[in-house]
């Protein structure tokens, strides 16, 4: 089956989300729509829609004009088994004591390491990304410097690799993994099963901390948020309410040049304990005031 993509960019999140909603009523009906912040520091957003039939260029041009978007770029998407391709190209990730791998590399786990099995999936990250590695290294160091945490939240958990890592080294901890996308939460639940921590990680669908289980288990000794700059800034007040006094927040999904803005958003309630860069990405470890 032939698939077509239609991609454009906009200057604001509000316009991008409005255009994404407008595309839901487009004919032919899109089989998928995505709105993403472009990770180049520009502050612009990309809107993409995918179709089983070629969309009408004139109607797309009208939509772009209405929402102040750049002209849509329409192209045919080659038929590719993306999961198989990703599995071939992914390599295990070393991150302190953690060894992140797919099932095809299960035999390569070194003795004495903590294995994290995350398979390639069509819609969600595998964890093989500098931001995830930064968070895992920060978790390893936090445990060595401060010891175990009793309560952990993974906000915007995706595959739940960070929640799984915490569960493997802290068997007594109460851990909640949350994501705004219900399908991501299904993937997270499956990953907790294959990593044998399903009984110790609760997976919920929620924006930020807005879920009764997240409220009940808080405040937290540690909160992960590996998302993007703007959502991290918007999350700062909720983070201050849900991280226990003296607790920590490990934040990533931040381009190096964006780190100062995130630090400013958390100033007053948090101090920077560590700031690490891996390639173009920064991971922050913040400590909540006592």
Which helix (H) or strand (E) segment holds residue 48: the answer is strand 45-51
Supply the pTM of this predicted model: 0.72
Q: Residue 160's pLDDT is what?
A: 94
Q: Determine the 3-state secondary structure of 23 from DSSP.
A: helix
Q: Where in the chain is the domain with CATH 3.30.70.260?
A: 3-77
pLDDT score for 125: 46
Q: How far, in Å, are 215, 216, 240, 266, 281 from residue 260 at the CA level? A: 29, 32, 18, 10, 13
Q: How far apart are CA 48 and CA 190, in angstroms?
A: 27
Q: Where in the chain is the domain with CATH 3.40.50.150?
A: 129-288
Residue 228: its pLDDT value, please? Answer: 86
At CB < 8 A and 24+ separation, what contacts does 120-126 make?
Answer: 120/82, 120/83, 120/86, 120/87, 120/90, 121/83, 121/159, 121/187, 122/82, 122/83, 123/183, 123/184, 123/187, 124/158, 124/159, 124/183, 124/184, 124/187, 125/158, 125/159, 126/86, 126/90, 126/102, 126/159
d(CA 290, CA 279): 33
List, in order, residues 6 or more apart from 75 with CB less than 8 Å away. 4, 5
Residues in the chain predicted with pLDDT less than 70, given as ranges, are 1, 39, 78-91, 106, 120-129
**Domain at 3-77: CATH architecture:** 2-Layer Sandwich (3.30)
Superfamily of domain 129-288: Vaccinia Virus protein VP39 (3.40.50.150)
pLDDT for position 183: 85
- Would you state the pLDDT for residue 80? 56
């Amino acid at each position: 089956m032939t698939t077509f993509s239609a991609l454009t960019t906009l200057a604001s999140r509000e316009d991008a989300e409005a255009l994404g909603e407008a595309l839901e009523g487009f004919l032919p009906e899109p089989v998928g729509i995505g709105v993403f912040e472009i990770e180049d520091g520009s502050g612009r957003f990309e809107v993409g829609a995918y179709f089983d039939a070629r969309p009408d260029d004139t109607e797309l041009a009208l939509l772009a004009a209405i929402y102040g978007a750049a002209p849509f770029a329409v192209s045919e998407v080659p038929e590719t088994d993306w999961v198989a391709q990703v599995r071939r190209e992914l390599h295990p990730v070393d991150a302190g004591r953690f060894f992140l791998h797919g099932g095809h590399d299960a035999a390569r786990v070194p003795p004495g390491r903590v294995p994290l099995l995350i398979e390639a999936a069509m819609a969600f990250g595998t964890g093989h990304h500098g931001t995830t590695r930064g968070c895992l290294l920060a978790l390893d160091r936090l445990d060595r410097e401060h010891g175990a945490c009793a309560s952990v939240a993974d906000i915007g958990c995706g595959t739940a690799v960070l929640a799984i890592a915490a569960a493997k080294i802290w068997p007594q901890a109460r851990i909640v993994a949350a994501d705004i996308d219900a399908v991501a939460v299904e993937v997270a639940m499956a990953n907790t099963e294959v990593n044998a921590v399903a009984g110790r990680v609760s997976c919920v669908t929620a924006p930020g901390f807005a879920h009764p289980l997240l409220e009940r288990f808080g405040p937290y000794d540690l909160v992960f948020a590996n998302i993007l700059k703007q959502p991290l800034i918007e999350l700062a007040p909720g983070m201050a309410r849900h991280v226990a006094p003296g607790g920590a927040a490990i934040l990533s999904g931040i381009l190096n040049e964006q780190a100062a803005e995130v630090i400013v958003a958390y100033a007053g309630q948090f101090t920077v304990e560590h700031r690490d860069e891996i390639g173009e990405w920064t991971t922050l470890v913040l400590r909540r005031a006592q």
